[in-house]
Copies of this chain bind each other. A is one copy, B any other.
Amino acid sequence: MSRIVMKFGGTSVADLDKIANAANKVAQEVENGNQVVVIVSAMSGKTNELVGWVRETKPDYDQAEYDAVVSSGENVTSGLMALRLQQMGIKARSWQGWQVPVKCTGHHEAARIDDIPPENMNAAFDAGYAVNVVAGFQGVMDDNRIATLGRGGSDTTAVAFAAALKADRCDIYTDVDGIYTTDPRIVPNARKLHRISYEEMLELASQGAKVLQTRSVELARSYHVPLRVLSSFEDDISDKVGTVVCREKDIMENIKAVKGVAYSRDEAKVTLVSVADRPGVAAAIFGPLADAGVNVDMIVQNISEEGRTDMTFSCPVDQVLRAEKALKAAHEADDINYKEIIVDDIVAKVTIVGNGMRSHAGVASKMFKVLADEGVNIRVITTSEIKVSVLVDRKYMELAVRALHDAFELETA
């Protein structure tokens, strides 16, 4: 007998029909002889509604109350899923985070799962429950108050249960049928990947492919949980479908240097011109930005003149005002010194990702040549062992993605 975790996101449990559809998939796994833990999100739209009420009631809301309110959406779907499974003759029950318990630490609204003692859940399986349905996205703090894990947290819940209950795999059911070489809306011949490594998935996820929450992939990597992404809306749930995210050594097909192309449309580039170049200047700039909640991504420093430097970074467009405010305050406080701030808020980021880059030389230079041939000017470059990212003018983003997808022949395996 295997034990598996199945996670259904908001669009997969959006209404009673969708819940019934998801329950059918659970029933298949039960018929296959598996013990199943089902993790559910709130019906799509519900969480946004609840968050809206919280923000309207108190714009600078108490995050513990936010968690108490917003977690209720998952409670509803977990009960309805258990009822639907019972209606199909399957012995099932629901669990809210505190009942398991899913022990959390850290900050409300962005809590981390600290521990999931498996005793209660194992006792339920021993008592004959074929399915334990758990409300995702939530847990309980030491002081018995409810915690939530941040948007997309149900993926993390699923992986954490798979690790705690030593599940054989963790299937993430969603509204796409797997991970693609790039966004098929931009490149129609994008190819679905059968397998991808945790590291590659992390780069794709953080680089703008929105299928899996980054933390869930990190957690899966730490605990070697085989993750599978597959569609809620297709009948086949056999091994043949979806994309498995697993260890690099479990992937046989890694012949290519580049595995996928990711993008992020709404980026901004901020340049501090002629910063006094002294030890500690980077900390003086990026400390206040972090305190202001600005997610700085790429950072480039160029020497411009003797003793002065230009400092460039990128961040999401909607954080630019916050960034400027923090930098001006630091300037007025004499913590940093610069001539001016130049903002370019119509850029986008394009990234190529692949474990194969480690062994293939010349991948970055090929990328630059492809973009140059298309007349796409590169504003900023950053690299890691398994990815190269560039900032380009936003209007060239789709062109760049298509050109790179073609050049690295990602449409074929």
Contacts of A61 in B (CB 8 A): 83
Cβ < 8 Å to B, chain A residues 278-304: none
Q: A75-B75, A145-B99 are in contact. Are A69 and B58 (CB under 8 A)?
A: no
- A73's nearest neighbour on chain B, judged by CB, is B72
- A67's nearest neighbour on chain B, judged by CB, is B79
Residue pair A65, B93 in contact (C-beta under 8 Å): yes
Residue pair B86, A76 in contact (C-beta under 8 Å): no
A-B contact pairs, 21 of them (CB 8 A): A16-B56, A50-B76, A53-B76, A57-B80, A57-B83, A58-B86, A58-B87, A62-B82, A62-B83, A62-B86, A62-B93, A65-B80, A68-B75, A68-B79, A68-B82, A69-B75, A69-B76, A69-B79, A72-B75, A75-B75, A99-B145
Contacts of A58 in B (CB 8 A): 83-84, 86-87
Residue pair A94, B76 in contact (C-beta under 8 Å): no
Q: Contacting A94 at CB < 8 Å: which of B16, B68, B82?
A: B68
Residue pair A94, B65 in contact (C-beta under 8 Å): yes
Extra contacts, 7 of them, besides A54-B79, A69-B79, A99-B145 (Cβ < 8 A), are A62-B82, A64-B93, A65-B86, A65-B93, A68-B82, A69-B80, A98-B98
**A96 at interface (Cβ–Cβ under 8 A)?**
yes
Interchain CA distance A53-B19 in the complex, whole Å: 11
Contact with B along A141-177 (1 / 0, CB 8 A): 0001110000000000000000000000000000000
Copies per complex of this chain: 2
Contacts of A207 in B (CB 8 A): none
Contacts of A93 in B (CB 8 A): 62, 64-65
Interchain CA distance A22-B72 in the complex, whole Å: 22
**A41 at interface (Cβ–Cβ under 8 A)?**
no
- A56's nearest neighbour on chain B, judged by CB, is B16
